[in-house]
Amino acid sequence: MVTTRPNLQNRTLRRTGAGLLTGAAASLGLLLTPATAVAAEPAPAPAAEAPAPAPSAAQVAVDTALAQVGKPYVYGGGGPDSFDCSGLTQFAYAAAGISLPHSSKGQSQIGVPIAPLDLQPGDLVFYYSPVSHVGIYIGDGQIVHAGTEATGVEITTVSMDGYNYATRIA
């Protein structure tokens, strides 16, 4: 009977190969663990505030008109030091990038008619028939307008005498 002796060299190679693979796998595990940990658990980013949305053209017009309160009324005035009613609305909307004519009648022919209960800040409000006065609705039943030489640019009720109609242009 013939007895075969296992090849120790092959066994050693197998073990060495297995040992190398195990050693390599262990080394790879050590090398990959930090990368895996970073990918699995990213450091929290500092909280960044979302940029504020840009104000609408109507809000820019309202804010610009409100900044003129207290300035004098001058017939034909278009700002920045004095205003008449349509000069104020023209100036305010120009700040928002919207061009309006310098007359209340001309402005009354622009935009979409708005019912009194649907008024929103920035709507143009017209008075008298034929139209001869304009203001900008600012909310809460009020407008900003260049009233008279005695009042200048002021805030008053939208329902002042002579209310005719309103339009929305932005």
Please provide the average confidence, as pLDDT, over all residues in the chain: 83
> Tell me, what's the pLDDT at 51?
82
Picking from 10-24, 57-71, 74-88, which range would have the lowest pLDDT averaged per residue?
10-24
What is the value of pTM for the model shown? 0.71
- DSSP 8-state class, residue 7: -
Cβ atoms of 49 and 60 closer than 8 Å: no
pLDDT band for position 45 (50/70/90)? low
> Tell me, what's the pLDDT at 28?
43
Enzyme catalytic residues: 85, 133, 145
Secondary structure string (H, E, C) spanning 20-43: HHHHHHHHHHHHHHHHHHHHHCCC
Distance of alpha carbon 117 from alpha carbon 141, whole angstroms? 10
What are 98-155's pLDDT values in tens digits? 999 999 999 999 999 999 999 999 999 999 999 999 999 999 999 999 999 999 999 9
Distance of alpha carbon 159 from alpha carbon 116, whole angstroms? 9
